[in-house]
Structures are given as C-alpha cells and as structure tokens.
Amino acid sequence: MFRLRVKDTFSAAHSLRYYQGKCEAMHGHNFEVEVEVQGDVLEDKTEILFDFKKLKRLLKSVLEQLDHTCLNDLTYFQQVNPSSENIAKYIFDQLKKELPDRIRLNYVMVAEGKNSMAFYEQRSCVL
C-alpha cells in the first residue's frame, strides 16, 4: 500500500448557525488543509502512485471555490452549517470526484489553527 499527502491553505469567513457563542458571529480563518490518498499499484513507466503536482492542482482547484469567500453564502453551506467538519466533507466529496478509480481518498483534514483540526473520511463496511 502506498500513501501520499499534500497540504494547502485557504482564507474564508463563516459563522456557525445555532452555536450560541462567539463563533456564531461572522469571523475568519486561514484554514490549513491536508489530504491523503492511497493505492496499491504504481504507474507502469514512472513507478509513482500519482503525480504530486496533479494532486496539488486538484486540491487547489477545490480550495479556490472556498478561498476569500463567506462560506455561508455558498450554495452548499446555505443548507449545511460551515463547520470545519462540514468543510472537510465538502472538500472530500469534491476532490473524490476528480481522482482516478485506482486512487482512494483516505481523509481530508481541515485546521482552523495549529491546535484545532477536523477530519473527514469515508469508511467502507466489509461483511
């Protein structure tokens, strides 16, 4: 099993609906994002799992949709509270669509700061 991780950042504002605390007010973060992919088979000629540049470019294209926005104004987050957990799920769902079938997206981590991180991963049920 081979695994790759890449990181990037984006800046955005959000307010957490129903929070009943300071975070219910509009505020911003410089979010840090980390993604990990895995696979069993390396490409034939290059003997790499997936090009780091391609993975970084795919992540960047997803984060550009969020960067310098008010997350609450985006269609997805008008129905879903823009918590770090839900931001991680949004990034996961968008990124997963762009990856080849042979590459499994393990998780997306979104950090509001160095001590506050949320992870999203999909577990498959094996019976």
Catalytic residues: 23, 68, 112
**Is 56 exposed, middle or buried, given 0-12, 13-18 or 19+ CB atoms closer than 10 A?**
middle
Work out the angle at residue 109's Cα, subtended by the Cα atoms of residues 86 and 33, and round it to the nearest 5 degrees. 100
User: Left (φ > 0), alpha (ψ -120 to 50) or beta: where does 20 sit?
Assistant: left
